[in-house]
Amino acid sequence: MTPTTTTSTLTMVLPDMVALPHFAHPTINPPVRHPAAVTVIIERDDMKTHPLTALQVIGVRYRGSTPAENDERALDAYAASGVYHAASVPTTISEPRMPATQRRIDEPSNLGWICRAIADDVAAAHARGRAPLIVGGDCTHAVGVVAGLQRSHGPNARIGLVWFDAHGDYNTPRTTLSGMLGGMPVAVCAGLALPQWRDLAGMQAPLPTDRIMLVDARNLDPPEEQLIRATETAIADVNDFAGPLASLAAACDVLYLHVDSDILEAALVPNHATREPDGPGLSEVSAAIDTVMATGKVGAFAVVSVYGAGPGSDISVASGTALIRAGLEAWARHGTV
């Protein structure tokens, strides 16, 4: 892979306060305020592959915007297992929190705020030269990871999203059959739904749909699939996506690799609420993770929706641990941006 140098931006937060765009009903959700930002154009030489030298583990103890301490025992199991040391680099751990004062009645706004806290940690990790590994939480938190990458690499950076999931998570309020916000984060990242979620998270621009790849996505709602087919988003098989991935990587400066554990065969995640039969095994998904890492362009890696409570949780946590280990070992081999 040929390294690239990119002119990018640095966003500095100043104490002056300005109102953010407001999308909910004003009597239900009063306008929120956030520090103003000034953008300074600088020359950067950090958009090229370099060795992974330090790791920032961002542990998300939330389901959506709801604190979920009991449900996130997987985080404690990961730490106890030593899996975070699989990359053999110095490792620090942070756990973002959403202040109670930011909580609103509408859940998309709440998701925006917890995603902003995640974005803060992702951006801070890159500023300190640490590769961000996001664990815990669920797919709703991906919006925060994208926002953090945009902040750290600049609004002109070409960010790509590689989405490992049994589902597309590409629904909108118009297409959804279940009403689950957890089925919408990719559409939110693409600018197709719920702008308050995206804006409060701090996303500076939606992702172009030709920079999104869904890997597996074996269970799509019919209206969701119709929407995806109307965009330039790629759908690929976990065992045969090297070609489309190479095209995506060539068009991007940095990739976010997102793994929902429900991509696995249902027996490997028995307590996952949206598990699906006929999925790939750990060896197949681990090999696919290595394929993405081999681009040398992965700037953030997430393994989410691993439930550490209830019957079968030991199996699910073991699966999550295996995915994290495979990803970190591959990241260390291939480097990061």
Q: Report domain extents, the chain.
A: 46-334
What is the per-residue pLDDT across 93-123, written as a single tens digit (0 to 9) for each?
A: 999 999 999 999 999 999 999 999 999 999 9
In angstroms, the CA 317 to CA 268 distance is: 9
Position 28 pLDDT exceeds 80: no
Position 35 pLDDT exceeds 90: no
E-state strands within 269-319: 298-304
CATH fold label, 46-334:
Arginase; Chain A (3.40.800)
What is the per-residue pLDDT across 133-150, written as a single tens digit (0 to 9) for each?
A: 999 999 999 999 999 999
Global pTM reads 0.87
Residue 193, SS3? coil
At residue 270, what are phi and psi to the nearest 5 degrees? -65, -20
Q: How far is CA 326 from CA 15, 91, 242, in A?
A: 42, 17, 18
> What confidence category does residue 155 fall into, taking pLDDT thresholds of 50, 70 and 90?
confident
| End-to-end alpha carbon distance in the chain | 12
Position 258 pLDDT exceeds 80: yes
Position 44 pLDDT exceeds 50: no
Residues 6+ apart with CB under 8 A from 174: 223
State the residue for tokens 């990871």: 145
In angstroms, the CA 292 to CA 327 distance is: 9
> What confidence category does residue 299 fall into, taking pLDDT thresholds of 50, 70 and 90?
very high
- Between CA 168 and CA 259, with CA 325 as vertex, the angle to 5 degrees is 5
Return the structure tokens found at 48. Answer: 């090229």
Return the structure tokens found at 207. Answer: 């992702």
